[in-house]
Amino acid sequence: MPPIVSEEYKEKKKEQILKSALSCFADKGFQSSTIDDIVSHSGISKGAIYNYFKSKDEIYLEVLNRATAKNIENIRDNFSKLRSTLSKINFIFDGYLNTNPFEHERFRYIVVFYEFTLHCTRNEKLLELLTRRRDTFINLLVDVLKEGQEAKEINNEVDPEIFAHQFWTIIDGVSLQAVYNDFPYYDVLREMKEAYIEKLKL
């Protein structure tokens, strides 16, 4: 409220807006969510929101950026605590096996995330951003797999790049299928995980 305000204050406000925005986007989709929805949900005035973000698009972008950042950080943290390659692969699969994609909140988030992905498709800049983000996820795994090969923990024949991509392909596949609420998410994911790990072994 005072004319000069700490960075911390601003950051908190931003966070608050973004949280509300995600909630709205999750509920109604990006296009269908209005700034007024975010105003209602956050209790922050329209003018204030525009003080922190240039446009609705910028909010969208930032919402997804932060969600991703958190996810990466989380994976990195846990990888660093784990020793063997297989335990890391196990861990990252289990992250998805221990999550309920049908649970309302989670489900909404998945939908928004893929909507955003598709949205980026139509804007070169956004697509590049998205691709860079994806590279981070891919490299996380490529590094692990390479280390595993160097350490002779896993099969030398597997192509780390291909297998890294394959992993996210599986995750995207099962996540997307979760839009059908009778999808046997756990069974399918477990089956695919086993096949995946089988290939790595030896």
Footprint of DNA (CB under 7 A): 1-5, 10, 13, 32-36, 44-48, 50-52, 54-57
Q: Rounded to an integer, what distance in angstroms lies between the CA atom of residue 68 and that of residue 191?
A: 26
Other CB atoms within a 10 A radius of the CB of residue 130 amount to 19
Site stretch for a second copy (CB under 8 A), options 24-32, 52-60, 62-70, 91-99: 24-32
Structure tokens at 31: 């296009």
Under a CB-based contact definition with an 8 Å cutoff, are residues 42 and 90 in contact?
no
Structure tokens at 90: 């196990």
**Which string of DSSP letters, residue by residue, matches 74-94?**
HHHHHHHH--SHHHHHHHHHH
**Which of a second copy, DNA, none lies near 8, with the C-beta cut-off 5 to 8 A by kind?**
none
Which residue from 96, 155, 172, 197 is in contact with a second copy, where contact means CB under 8 A?
172
Total residues contacting a second copy by CB under 8 A comes to 46
Instruction: Specify the residue for token string 């929101």.
Output: 49
Q: How far is the CB of 81 from a second copy (least distance, A)?
A: 28
Q: Rounded to an integer, what distance in angstroms lies between the CA atom of residue 122 and that of residue 155?
A: 39
Q: Rounded to an integer, what distance in angstroms lies between the CA atom of residue 102 and that of residue 107?
A: 5
* Residue 180 touching a second copy (CB under 8 A): yes
Q: How far is the CB of 32 from a second copy (least distance, A)?
A: 7
Q: How far is the CB of 163 from DNA (least distance, A)?
A: 41
**Which of a second copy, DNA, none lies near 114, with the C-beta cut-off 5 to 8 A by kind?**
a second copy
* Residue 124 touching a second copy (CB under 8 A): no
Length of the chain, in residues: 202
Helices vs strands, H then E, count in the chain: 9, 0
Of 43 and 81, the one with the shorter C-beta distance to a second copy is 43
Which residues contribute to the site for a second copy (CB under 8 A)? 3, 27-29, 31-32, 47, 111, 114-115, 117-122, 127, 130-131, 134, 159, 161-162, 165-166, 168-174, 176-177, 179-184, 187-188, 191-192, 195, 199
